A and B are shown apart, each in its own frame.
Chain A
Amino acid sequence: MTTAGTSTLLRFMLRRERFRLPWWLLGVGFLVSYQSVGSQSLYNTPEKLAQLRATLGANAAVVAMSGPKDLLATIGGEVIFEIFSYAAVVVALMNMFLVGRHTRSDEETGRAELIRSARVGRHATLAAALSLAGLANLAVAVVTFAATAGTGLPVEGSLLVGIALGAVGMAFAALTAVFAQLFENPRGVYGAVGAALGAAFILRGIGDTTNGALSWISPIGWGHRTLPYVEDRWWPLLLPIAVSVLLAVAARTLLDRRDFAAGLLPSRPGPATASPALSSPYGLAWRLQRASLIGWAVGLFVLGAAYGSVGNTMEQYLKDNPEVANFFPGGATDIVNAFLAITMVFQALIAAAYGVSSALRARGEETAGRAEPVLATATSRRAWLSSHLSVALAGTAVVMLASGFGEGLAYGLTISDLSQIPRLMVVALVYLPAVWAIVAVAVLGFGWLPQAAATVAWIVFGFCVLVTVFSDVFDLPTWVQNASPFAYTPQAPFEAVTAAPLVVIAVVVVAFLGGGFVGFRRRDIG
């Protein structure tokens, strides 16, 4: 039997996922319940909902980033309007990594060879991986149902949302299974699925702002079209289910046409000699990190554009919902700049996450044994660490500029004033010292406590997120709030920018970086 061993493999896969999968589910649950509670407390009367329909529903940029305006008829629909696209992206990524990891990654590393040499059928790994995705999507449905019904939304609509989210996830799981037959390495698979996911998001964005036709070829659009809490239509779910089955059958057919560990698309050979760019540790670090830098920069450009596109509606929005003013520094005065400042802080935190992961690449290279051969050449430790660090520091600047550019472009277009682009790009740079301070902690840790560097850096990052985003929620003592570099950063463009605090942060950054280099020069490698 070609599926012999499927159930054993499935149990083994569940065991391997036991620490990873719960975090994804927790993330989905948090995202949905947070939105549900927030929307229900903000728009708690029919009048407020009607105002929202008039302002947000009429804003093409908001509709493009959220969902069809038909959803804005009920409060439950409003929740779905705001969060479903993003929850669907999270669930799609979860499915992509889940299926990719257990099929193509395992084949590439050779783990699957060991399994296949046992009494395991040719189709067993694929069947088990898709079953695993099925179980994960069932869990997504349950978690989503709990997050919506549990926060007071109607039961039938909640059940529909849960199953719709799971069904969209399943379509992406099956799509990943198909691409896993085509490409020889996981990067190719993830790239193709990521592109399909991006296309799904954009198509429904265009569709929802026009006559809706394009939304019907996007799995995310199918989920929206069930119109939970508004019409509670079940039949659009047939689309993702049918597509999942078709793609699964296609994956199985393609699997029969290829050799183990091979892909149907031949892998392209690369250059036989290195270009002059690859002549120094800096060239190498850039080559290793450029793809991820481009990804983060594009991501923050899009996020900036999303924020910028709604900037101009803030004033009207605030008139309709005066209690929202509490969320902004300075209340209702100068609301646009306060909004821009808040979104900039948020994007700076995301840039810091990029910066930390980029700086920690140095540690990744070290533990993988790839630092050793480079340091055995005439490359000094200082040059080697500088190479990775320069990408991290310059990269965070690029990422911040991309977010400022996106926000300036979108906001500038809505108010017909393109001078917003340079203005908001400069504003973005005001947050750079604070971002670098978090990166510098990672470098200091790398120099002195290499084993703990990643943990320390991410804890510090999490702490900064906590005190910056949720300080009001948790009512933290002042000294705790003041431990974050963002506490000293002027909230541009809302607050006036003064040089003194930025210089102080920069001095701390230099001290931490210097300390990291001193530690790294004194310690063992490996």
Chain B
Amino acid sequence: METAILVSGLKKNFGQTRALDGLDLTVARGEVHGFLGPNGSGKTTTIRVLLGLLRPDGGTARLLDGDPWADAVKLHRRLAYVPGDVTLWPNITGGEVIDLMGRLRGGLDRRRRDELLERFDLDPRKKARAYSKGNRQKVALVAALASDAELLLLDEPTAGLDPLMEAVFQQCIQEIRHEGRTVLLSSHILAEVEALCDRVSIIRLGRTVESGTLADLRHLTRTSISVETEQPITGIESLPGVHDAVLNSTHARFDVDTQHLDAVVRQLAGLGVRSLTSTPPTLEEMFLRHYGGAE
């Protein structure tokens, strides 16, 4: 697997604050990689290190086979970036900003630019001071998506967009995926992550806590079971992987780690199952568990 981003053991301190504490991140070429974590967990700091704006205090970071600090200018020709908090020059129009950013990166596709303006329904003639937060976000998005960059670094790019624009954004990312380009997408919108991302990395307190495909991650989590049997249920709570069991003679409700599901179901089968509902973990539950650091 060819890698676009390879970060290992990355450390960064701001004075007394430890922003990154040994973070690992691997993004393969051609994949859309979800980058998740609660606010202040180090997502933006990681992206800034990858852009060569911050100098890491430890660990290594490689970007498109280059050193993000030393080869910054060379690498930036090949990537596009959307900051999480888009501030623009108040007296310059959105269209001018898009053109300027494109030219500074080394040219932009005018046809693609105009098409994106249309799709995102953005008026390029307005001065930036007159744009709402969502429209400023669109300016940065159009500037990035109109490029032919092989890597896109997107820091919560849809935070201010309405659902319609969110859909347009997802379409654009799907197109980029088909073109074989790479995207690192930091996001809080789980539906977006589920729809777009091949793999995700979850970070917390400056450290990677989980990384893999969504299916992998689901596998590591619990399924909720509610069951009614003919014979009274006993001993189920002491089986490995069973949590929060509530037993009431022939009724039981409990959570089970997904890798122990098979053993538990076999045990239940011997008791004569009358009804059984199994609820797979929702993404929300999964993330809340990681974000909160429970367990």
A187-B91, A280-B104, A368-B87 known; A270+B54 contact, CB < 8 A? no
**Is the interface on chain B under 10, 10 to 19, 20 to 34, or 35 or more residues?**
35 or more
Q: Are B51 and A376 in contact (CB under 8 A)?
A: yes
| B88 at interface by CB-CB < 8 Å | yes
A280-B104, A369-B85, A378-B104 known; A270+B93 contact, CB < 8 A? yes
| A269 at interface by CB-CB < 8 Å | yes
| B48 at interface by CB-CB < 8 Å | yes
Q: Are B73 and A272 in contact (CB under 8 A)?
A: no
Is the contact region of chain A dominated by helix, strand, or loop, or is it mixed? loop
- Per the bound structure, the CA–CA distance linking A457 and B215 in Å amounts to 57
Contact among A267, A279, A372, A376 with B130 in the assembled complex (CB-CB below 8 Å): A267
Q: Are A375 and B96 in contact (CB under 8 A)?
A: no
| A208 at interface by CB-CB < 8 Å | no
Residues of B within 8 A of A267 (CB): 127, 130
How distant is B137 from chain A, measured CB to nearest CB, in Å? 12
Residues of A within 8 A of B129 (CB): 108, 185
Residues of A within 8 A of B127 (CB): 185, 267, 270
Contact among A108, A273, A375 with B53 in the assembled complex (CB-CB below 8 Å): A375
User: What sequence of 0s and 1s flags, for each residue 74-87 of chain B, a beta carbon within 8 Å of any chain A beta carbon?
Assistant: 10110101010111
Closest to B147 in A: A377
How distant is A287 from chain B, measured CB to nearest CB, in Å? 7
- Per the bound structure, the CA–CA distance linking A288 and B92 in Å amounts to 9
Q: Are A288 and B77 in contact (CB under 8 A)?
A: no
Residues of B within 8 A of A374 (CB): 101, 104
Q: Are B89 and A288 in contact (CB under 8 A)?
A: yes
Contact among B54, B73, B106 with A526 in the assembled complex (CB-CB below 8 Å): B54
User: What sequence of 0s and 1s flags, for each residue 267-279 of chain A, a beta carbon within 8 Å of any chain B beta carbon?
Assistant: 1011111100011
| B99 at interface by CB-CB < 8 Å | yes
How distant is B193 from chain A, measured CB to nearest CB, in Å? 23
Question: Which residues between 18 and 67 of chain B lie within 8 Å of chain A, taking CB atoms?
Answer: 48, 51-55
| A264 at interface by CB-CB < 8 Å | no
Q: Are A373 and B125 in contact (CB under 8 A)?
A: no
Q: Are A270 and B53 in contact (CB under 8 A)?
A: no
| A319 at interface by CB-CB < 8 Å | no
| A418 at interface by CB-CB < 8 Å | no
How distant is A196 from chain B, measured CB to nearest CB, in Å? 22
| B112 at interface by CB-CB < 8 Å | no
Closest to A275 in B: B96
Q: Are A380 and B126 in contact (CB under 8 A)?
A: no
- Per the bound structure, the CA–CA distance linking A522 and B69 in Å amounts to 10
A270-B126, A270-B127, A375-B51 known; A287+B92 contact, CB < 8 A? yes
- Per the bound structure, the CA–CA distance linking A369 and B82 in Å amounts to 12
- Per the bound structure, the CA–CA distance linking A288 and B96 in Å amounts to 13
| B241 at interface by CB-CB < 8 Å | no
- Per the bound structure, the CA–CA distance linking A272 and B93 in Å amounts to 7
Q: Are B54 and A281 in contact (CB under 8 A)?
A: no
How distant is A294 from chain B, measured CB to nearest CB, in Å? 14
A372-B53, A378-B73 known; A273+B124 contact, CB < 8 A? yes
Contact among B55, B87, B96, B124 with A278 in the assembled complex (CB-CB below 8 Å): B96
Closest to B47 in A: A376
Closest to A377 in B: B104
- Which among A187, A267, A375, A381 has the highest number of chain B CB atoms within 10 Å? A375
- Per the bound structure, the CA–CA distance linking A422 and B45 in Å amounts to 54
- Per the bound structure, the CA–CA distance linking A369 and B128 in Å amounts to 14
- Per the bound structure, the CA–CA distance linking A187 and B127 in Å amounts to 13
Q: Are A378 and B81 in contact (CB under 8 A)?
A: no
| A254 at interface by CB-CB < 8 Å | no
- Per the bound structure, the CA–CA distance linking A121 and B95 in Å amounts to 38
Contact among A185, A270, A279, A284 with B125 in the assembled complex (CB-CB below 8 Å): A270
- Per the bound structure, the CA–CA distance linking A372 and B88 in Å amounts to 11
Closest to B93 in A: A270
- Per the bound structure, the CA–CA distance linking A460 and B85 in Å amounts to 34
| B72 at interface by CB-CB < 8 Å | yes
| B265 at interface by CB-CB < 8 Å | no
Residues of A within 8 A of B79 (CB): 376
How distant is B67 from chain A, measured CB to nearest CB, in Å? 14
Q: Are B93 and A378 in contact (CB under 8 A)?
A: no
Q: Are A273 and B104 in contact (CB under 8 A)?
A: no
How distant is A381 from chain B, measured CB to nearest CB, in Å? 8
How distant is B7 from chain A, measured CB to nearest CB, in Å? 17
Residues of A within 8 A of B93 (CB): 269-272
How distant is B122 from chain A, measured CB to nearest CB, in Å? 10
Residues of A within 8 A of B196 (CB): none
Residues of B within 8 A of A369 (CB): 83, 85, 87
Question: Which residues between 113 and 136 of chain A lie within 8 Å of chain B, taking CB atoms?
Answer: none
Residues of A within 8 A of B86 (CB): 373
Q: Are B81 and A376 in contact (CB under 8 A)?
A: yes
A370-B87, A376-B76, A380-B73 known; A278+B100 contact, CB < 8 A? yes
Closest to A270 in B: B93
- Which among B51, B83, B104, B127 has the highest number of chain A CB atoms within 10 Å? B104
- Per the bound structure, the CA–CA distance linking A370 and B86 in Å amounts to 8
Q: Are B105 and A377 in contact (CB under 8 A)?
A: yes
Q: Are A278 and B99 in contact (CB under 8 A)?
A: yes
- Per the bound structure, the CA–CA distance linking A522 and B129 in Å amounts to 33
Residues of B within 8 A of A375 (CB): 51-53, 72
| B103 at interface by CB-CB < 8 Å | yes
| A472 at interface by CB-CB < 8 Å | no
Q: Are B89 and A370 in contact (CB under 8 A)?
A: yes
- Per the bound structure, the CA–CA distance linking A9 and B256 in Å amounts to 59
Contact among A187, A279, A376, A523 with B100 in the assembled complex (CB-CB below 8 Å): A279
A interface with B by C-beta (< 8 Å): 108, 184-185, 187, 267, 269-274, 278-281, 283-284, 287-288, 368-370, 372-381, 522-526
Given contacts A288-B89, A524-B55, 4 further A-B pairs with CB under 8 A are A274-B98, A373-B140, A375-B52, A379-B104
List 12 interface pairs A-B (beta carbons < 8 Å), by A numbering.
A271-B95, A272-B124, A279-B100, A280-B104, A373-B101, A374-B104, A375-B52, A376-B51, A376-B79, A378-B105, A379-B76, A524-B54
